[in-house]
Structures are given as C-alpha cells and as structure tokens.
Chains A and B, each alone.
Chain A
C-alpha cells in the first residue's frame, strides 16, 4: 500500500530569474498531525532547496510564518494539513510586496509600529527603589488582550482598506497603540493622537472586521480600533470644552 500524499501549489518568485510570480506544484507525504509548515519544510529539505520562507518557533508565538493558505491568511505552523481537502495553495501574505517566494517586504509595517510610540509614556515618574507601579488585575484586564499581538501581519493581509491604500496604519499597529493608551501606567494618548487619530489612522477603518476574524491570538484589533475611535472623538470634543485637560 503506497503512502498517502498531498499536493502543495506554492507561489514562487525569484527576482533574479522571474518576470512575475508563478505557481509550482509539489507532492509530499501525508501525516495526520503535520501542519502546513511541516509539509513546506519537507519540500525544502527533500525536493527543492530553493524554496524560501520565514519560520522559527513552530508554536504560533514568533509570528514568522504568516502566509495565505487556500485564500485564507494563516500561520503555517498552526494550520493542520488534515483540515485541507485536496490541494493546498500556498501564497505569501497579501498586500505586501513579494521579496522572494513566500517572503514579503515588511518594512512599511515596522515603520508604522514605531510611529505609534509603542512604549510607556509614564503618568508619574517612579524610582526603581520605589518598586513597581501598582496595577490591579482589573486594570491589567483592560488592556491585556491587546498585548497578545505576535506581529504576524495576518490582519494586514486580510484588511481590504489596507489592500486599497497601504498608507493605512493598520490593525496591529493601532491595536498596539490602544494597548498603551489603556495601560493605567501610561499617559501618552495625546502624544500618539497625531498618528492614531488621523485619517490614515483609525479613521481609515470601516470596521470590516476581517482582521479580528483571522487573528490567531484573539487580539481583536477591530475592537481596539473602534474603541480608539470613540476615545479620540471624546478627546476631540473635550479639547474644545476643556482645553486645559491633557490625556
């Protein structure tokens, strides 16, 4: 009895050889508990050393292996081969330029991440000798889910607004900004407003919600953006009614 196999249809692109990306098919053995990343590793190790992709942790926490599998953004290390009926089409993340094969150019995202000032702007200065800022479990609970983003960029791949206009700051970066805005130790919301509460910021979002659908860590960036819209609207009116107050 011959070993059961599955077929991968992978989008290839070598800028030194190819005018444009093209699909290439590979047949790999089927294993009940393989994830798509295992199948891709098999291709590289046994069939085609030139196949190029990013991966590391194999446990859905480093965010390297984001790809589009049968049209759906997914982490290759978290998508089980057994859940795909038939051939698996493997493409790089949508809405990013392709560097090579399944590797996309992420520079734009890194810039956006930096632009939202994703660090604590302290509400009060505290010496190390004075110990930790007190933060109750309830206060932590307000922003905790937004800390879970692994920067895998599946949300950018799914977002049609980002697809149409890549100046959109985007779900992950905005969710991270919101994470800091909600942190009880932080007072940086007005410092972040230039980027966050701008047209390419939260106001580009039309709440399609695809980002939250595909997020492997249940961060719910769509929720972060809508909450940020409400907060920034409040800030806007407060700036007229009570201009002396800063947040």
Chain B
C-alpha cells in the first residue's frame, strides 16, 4: 500500500474543506496540504445551498441580535461561547470571500445587500441571487488554485482514520480510478465531509451526503454529538426533494393549505399581518414550520398529490420582475421538475430532510478528543446550531469554522511532537486496507446494497421522522441493528478495480448505518422535545434533565453508549421561544 506523506490531510473539499485548506496555506507556506475528496470539489453539496449566509454588517443590526436569534433558534442547546465567536467572525469571513471575488448581490450604491431569513429578528443574510452556496463553493475552489501547497486528490474515497495512542496519524483512501488503497500519513487531519441526509428517503441532499467522515471519526473513538437533531427544511419539492430556498419566503412568499389559508398562524407564529414581518409566520424557524405541516397533515388540511401530501408556497404576489431578479433558480427548478411556473401558480412543497445539526464532537477550535483530528462544517457539531439551525447560518459556519480548523491544524502540524514508530502506524493503516479488501473480495452473501439502503431509509423515516415516540424509536433502533447485521452479508457484483461505484456505495452504506444507529439511539434516550427533536410522548422541553448535549460513543456491533455533557451557557438563560406577534 502506497504511503503519501503530508502535513495536513483534509477529507472533503466542500465549503469547509476548501476554506480550511486555504487557511493552512496562508498560515504557513511550508506546510504540505493533501485535499482529499470523493468527488471533484465543485460537485460538493455546498453547491446546492441557495438562500444565503448570515453576517452582521448593517447599521440596524448587532452581534447581540444575531447571538440571541441563533441561541433561541437552537432552543438553547447552542454553546454560547461558540455562538459569540461565530457571530463576531461571520462578517469578516464573508467580507474576505467578497475580496476573493464572490458575486454577492448588491444594493444600488454598491454595498452588500442582505435579505430577511427565518428566525432572524433583523435581516442579515448576504446572498448571491438564489445560488449562494454555488457561488461560495466556486469562489473558494477557484481561489484555492492560487496556492501551490494545496495538492488535490480528487475522487479518492476516504475509508478510515489511522489512530494509535489517542493520536490521529492519517487517513486511508481508495484512489477510485485504480481501486488502490493509499495511506495519507499526516500530522493533522481535518474532516469536512458534510452531513448524512441520505440516511432518510426524502432529502434535499445529493447522493454524496452519506456521513462518511462522521462514521470514520466515530469508529476512531470520537463521540458523535446531538445526533438526534435532524432538520427538516419546510419547502422541498415533492418526489425529488429538491430544495426550494427559504429565500423565497424571505422575499415575501407565503405557505397555504388546501383551503388557501395561511395555516402557520394557528401555531403561535401569527398574526399573519402585517407581512412580511421578521421571525413571524413564514419567517419562523424551520423546525416549527415543518412541525406545523405535520399537524396540518393530521388534520387533513394538506393537499394530496401522487407524491404524498403537500402545501402550497405562493410567490405570485411577488411579481415576475422580482422573481426573475431574486429567485431565478427557484423558478427554473419549479418549472423543470414540477412543471409549475411560480409567477402564475403556487409551488407544491413539503418538509424534507435537509441538515444534520449533530456530528463530530469538536470544541470551538474544531479540535476533537483525538489529538491531531479536527472537524468543521456540517459533519461537525461545535455546537452553534443546537437543536435547530437557523437558515443561512451554515454557509457562514463553513467559512468561520473551516478557517479555524485550518489554522488550528496548521499550528498542530508545526508543533508536531514525536510520533510513534513507523511500523506501528503502518500496521494500523494496513488493518484499514484489509477492511476494504475484505468487502471487495467477499463472496456468497445475499444482501444487495440498494435493497438494504431502501430498508434503512424506510426504518428511519418511520421511526425517527419529524415526530417520534418511544415505540417508534425502539422499533427504529432494532430495525437498524438488524440492518447492520445484514450488512455483513453484502456482496459486490462489480469486481472491477477501475472506478468501482458498487464498492463505494457499499462503504457509504456502512457509514450511513453507523450514523443512523447513533441518530436513533440518541433520539430514544432524549425524553423531551426540543427544537427539531419532537416526541409525542414527551411534548415539552425538559431543561432540568436535558439541557445537555448527547454523546454517542461507538461500541462495535452493539448499540452506542449514550452519555451527556454540559451546554456552555454564558448570558442567555433558556426561555420560551417566541415568534410572531407574541415577540412584541
């Protein structure tokens, strides 16, 4: 097995990974960086984010407001020191990427324009039409080409972290075009592999969002934090799950049920007028909006279609000019995939899985419990998002924590320290290669990757959806454990060494199963409702018992051990989350 020596290995080349790579390159031009991704960087799922990135720059705004919106939006599960740091660094990072060429939308005088977004008291969401993630990703990727110390390994699927004596020594990865496993021996490793939405059947997430980095860190001994918190974005297209940005509501779009009624006013988000109004109605937080759909569905007030029940997102009153200028991609997506022109008809939408608040447990410097291992972006949980993420905080999070991870990893790589014997590291790496080879060579099993994946999707949707219960979660957990057993019998049909996607999908399925079990187990143990984790049997928030982060610890073939750690609370004491007219 070939060994590639480097100083900082970064797994994942999306927004966080690219930002981290640039940060390392700028911190020290003598550090070698291996940027490893299973897809070309511009395919990373950051590309699909639409609405915008939040940062305080306008005169009517303040860090305090951004802080409070985020903490209350997260149902007080956010670590407030991290949120403080985040809101302060946000405008600098967003300005930095503007200097790097990001085509932010502008006000007539040339300053950055901002739009209102869900759960935010003051508009502070910077946007680039309705393709902000796309523009951020391409700007980061193109800027990264300036730095000769960033060496990219495109289409290398990372399989395992090589850890020995509580320290990470690198990562093994399959070079997809040759099928060879390579060991990236590295002083520091940053994981920036994104979330795990593909665990669920209806998701805005692309094929690649399979939680590989989360699973790698988990198996290497890093706990996964707050995995029970999965965000349903209120407006995805039925069937495909394609994202219709929150920006469409920020620009004034409304949600109506089958009676043409703006139903959100029945769920403590009203009154419906004056509209638009911040933190009210359709600009409420995502968890509340998705939960309202669930209730409307139970009452029989949603609209029935071939792709399940939907509600309508009405943009007609915005007028064609505004839609073309601010929401061109929304119009294009809606016309292409559902045959609806939002200028003339409302768009059918429903909640779909969108974001994983939980992830690799890191501190505010992106460091994990394993020395030399860092995490940033959706795969990590600092936590700034708590129990529910506000829209447009995550693109900013990629930049702020991607940069922090890069700087921290650079420091670590420079300080170095003496590693263990080369033979020890090499045999740890060899064990990882053997794991892959075993799956590749296995014969005689009866399980198919696609069938098992479907079963996992069904189990998670049924048991760990928007509303959960003891029974549903017990069933889900035991279904998932059975699926994990069956996974040992997965056999590959494709035995080629060249670009074997059967192998990659099988490995991705393994990651998803581990992550799903962590999600279900964490959800079962959290006997309260908070943010996006809602229990029919425990409908209230229980700060006395559960004002804590859950930590899921890998235990091989058994259920993960779940313990808890404190939430850092500095100045915002848990209170009631208030939206709509009740704010005033």
Contacts and interface: CB of A to CB of B under 8 A. Distances in A.
Given A57-B47, A60-B336, A15 B498 contact: yes
B221 interface: no
A150 interface: yes
B496 A62 contact: no
B208 interface: yes
B427 interface: no
Interface string A134-169: 111101100110011011000000000000000000
A17 B100 CA distance: 47
B92 interface: yes
A56 B106 contact: no
Contacts of A235: none
A133 B98 contact: yes
A103 B502 contact: no
Contacts of B449: 49
Contacts of A118: 142, 145
A216 to B, nearest CB: 10
Q: Which of A15, A120, A122, A185 has the most CB of B within 10 A?
A: A120
A35 B255 CA distance: 28
B206 A58 contact: yes
A61 B48 contact: yes
Contact of B101 (A44, A61, A119, A151): A119
A64 interface: yes
Given A52-B499, A61-B134, A100-B496, A140 B111 contact: no
A202 B103 CA distance: 24
Interface stretch (B238-246, B368-376, B439-447): B238-246
B110 interface: yes
B336 A180 contact: no
A146 B101 CA distance: 13
A119 B108 CA distance: 25
B138 interface: yes
Q: How large is the interface on A (under 10, 10 to 19, 20 to 34, 35 or more residues)?
A: 35 or more
A103 B39 CA distance: 12
7 contacts: A33-B338, A58-B207, A62-B45, A119-B145, A120-B100, A135-B110, A151-B42
Contact of A49 (B96, B177, B492): B492
Interface string A17-49: 100000000000000010000000000111011
A134 B110 contact: yes
Contacts, number: 152
B145 A62 contact: no
Given A52-B501, A128-B92, A135-B110, A147 B494 contact: no
Interface string B137-150: 01000110110000
A55 interface: yes
A108 B104 CA distance: 30
B99 A126 contact: yes
Given A61-B47, A62-B47, A128-B99, 6 more contacts: A16-B498, A54-B39, A59-B337, A110-B154, A148-B131, A176-B142
A137 B498 CA distance: 48
The 9 closest A-B pairs by CB, nearest first: A134-B110, A45-B450, A49-B493, A56-B206, A120-B101, A57-B206, A50-B494, A118-B142, A100-B499
Interface residues of B, number: 61
Contacts of B206: 56-58, 62
Contacts of A140: 103, 105-106
B106 A128 contact: no
Contact of B109 (A54, A134, A185): A134
Interface string A82-98: 00000000000000000
B501 A64 contact: no
Looking at A122, A132, A135, which has the most chain B CB atoms within 10 Å of its CB? A132
Contact of B110 (A61, A103, A136): A136
A79 B414 CA distance: 50
Contacts of A134: 109-111
Contact of A62 (B48, B448, B493): B48
B43 A62 contact: yes
B40 interface: yes
B30 interface: no
Contacts of B103: 140, 143-144, 147, 183
A99 interface: yes
Nearest to A176: B142
A221 interface: no
A113 B338 CA distance: 34
A63 interface: yes
A14 B110 contact: no
Contacts of B333: 59
B310 to A, nearest CB: 14
B39 A56 contact: yes
Contacts of B134: 61, 150
A114 interface: yes
B45 A137 contact: no
Give the most central of B101, B106, B129, B154: most A CB within 10 Å. B101
B104 A58 contact: no
B95 A57 contact: no
Contacts of A229: none
Interface string B35-46: 000011011110
A43 to B, nearest CB: 11
A132 B104 contact: yes
Interface string B84-105: 0000000010011011110111
Nearest to A147: B103
A55 B42 contact: no
B95 A128 contact: yes
B135 interface: yes
B426 to A, nearest CB: 28
B106 A180 contact: no
Interface string A186-213: 1000000000000000000000000000
Contacts of A61: 47-48, 131, 134, 329
B112 interface: yes
Contacts of B95: 128, 131-132
A44 B449 CA distance: 10
Given A15-B498, A56-B206, A119-B145, A185 B101 contact: yes
